Amino acid sequence: MSQISKKVLDYSKLIKIEHTLFSLPMLFSGAILGAHSWPSSRVLALIVLVGFAARAFAMIMNRLIDRNIDARNPRTASREIPASKVSVVEALLLALVSLLCYLLLAWQLGPICLLLSPIPLVLFIGYPYLKRYTCTAHFGVGAALAMAPLGGFIAASQRMPFSVDIIALGLFVFFWVSGFDIIYATLDEEFDKSQGLFSLPAVCGRTKALRISGVLHFLAFCGLSTVTFLGEHTPTSLVILALTGIFLFLEHRFSNNVDLAFFGGNVVVGFLVLLLVNSLAAHG
């Protein structure tokens, strides 16, 4: 492999391109609720690009802010910045390019999108610091990803305030992501205790933290149920809602296998939600 190819691979691993599979269904779901159908191809393309740029910026800033913690953690020491595969300067330049692309694309989506574009940036930069001070850090992650459906709604509708269904979808994402971030944090329970970091597993213990995660996922299901019953629900949409609930349950059933619960299960949940919202819009 050439040096250029290796460097591009390191950059892609830093950005975690595959994690876009979490945010894209939420962006599209919000856009469908905003337009009451699928938006135009131009708007969809811009939503994909702005979502990717936002995610890239968020991930790079997360890795930069946590680089010293990651270097001390055996599980994360091989990440690109602590392992010196990507330098701090390179990461900062990548973050700057991502930020400029994000702002340019937000401008292309419309004045209201550009005006509101700093709000997600504040969350992206702020939430990595929370675990140093409070065990509510998981809710910061949830709030950051909850911007996806809200942003998709604004991009497609070019208006505020939000409708009740998009608020319910935003709450679903908030509780869903906060809950699965707690599951993910169980990987570092002992490390976080040793470093004085405030993840819920470190503060409350794994068992209690997973119970809290379960409550959050129940609240997420309630939010998604609200979206469903506010719309023109059909037997198909009710089946999709039930399947989403089953996969949320399975995340906890297989919480010992974090990779399966975190990545595999959540990707399925995301696309089930998109199918549900699309089904509601088709009959709305």
- Could you read off the pLDDT of 126-162 as tens digits, one per residue? 999 999 999 999 999 999 999 999 999 999 999 887 8
- Could you read off the pLDDT of 76-103 as tens digits, one per residue? 999 999 999 999 999 999 999 999 999 9
> Could you tell me the pTM of the whole model?
0.94
Domains of the chain: 11-282 (1.10.357.140)
- 175 in Cβ contact with 216 (< 8 Å): yes
- Could you read off the pLDDT of 227-239 as tens digits, one per residue? 999 988 899 999 9
- 25: its two tokens: 């269904």
**DSSP state, 85?**
S
The amino acid at residue 120 is: P
**Residue appearing with tokens 């009451």:** 36
Whose CA is closest to 59, among 106, 100, 91, 101? 91
